[in-house]
Amino acid sequence: MAKLYFRYGAMNSGKSTGLLQAAFNYEERGQRVLLAKPATDTKGERDIVSRLGVTRQVDFLIAVDESAEEAFAAAAAQREEPVACLLLDEAQFLAPVQVDQLLRIAVERGVPVIAYGIRTDFLTHAFPGSARLLELAHSLEELKTICRCGRKAMFNGRKIAGGFVFDGDQVAIDGEAVTYESLCATCYLQESGGRLGT
């Protein structure tokens, strides 16, 4: 049985780089993969963008109200060879029902699905897509990165004009006048004045 995998980590933990490496590994062995991301992620438009400077165009985008399963089926039908794996970037932006559909792709269609994303937003709240992946995925893998102090980073601090902010919409794409810094719990609490989830 194929499985649904969720590989998650704070910003700068190498999620997109890992996805692109996984795609390379499959293709080096002559196997076909499909790459996708939610249309909500406007960074790079139709590209998966690694902070190392590597980019690759996705095979399809998943719109907010679109069936992930139908989008996958349409993209898979474009080529003759079978799909060995679906690789999905920025999975936190999926709706819970779309994550349910990813599980169906793995279990009912027999195609492994590897979803990459962040677990929580800048206020430490779970993204709906990430919460559902944590509930459903057969396999969970945390990709680690470090805070500026050298400890393990687990939170994403949002910065506007170089200063940390702790209010605003859940989604603000990195690079659109907004940046993020990966922080450990200690540094996050120091920057937020001790607040969590406000």
Helix axes 128-136, 96-109, angle to 10 degrees: 30
Residue 18 host element (H or E) = helix 15-28
Whether 105 and 72 have beta carbons less than 8 Å apart is answered as yes
Q: DSSP readout, 130-182?
A: HHHHHHH-SEEEEPP-B-TTSSBP-EEEEEETTEEE--S-S---TTSS-EEEE
| Catalytic hit among 69, 90, 181, 191 | 90
Whether 32 and 68 have beta carbons less than 8 Å apart is answered as no
Please indicate whether residue 176 is annotated as part of the active site. Answer: no
d(CA 155, CA 68): 28
- What's the angle, vertex CA 21, arms to CA 20 and CA 25, rounded to 5? 120
DSSP 42: -
Catalytic residues: 90
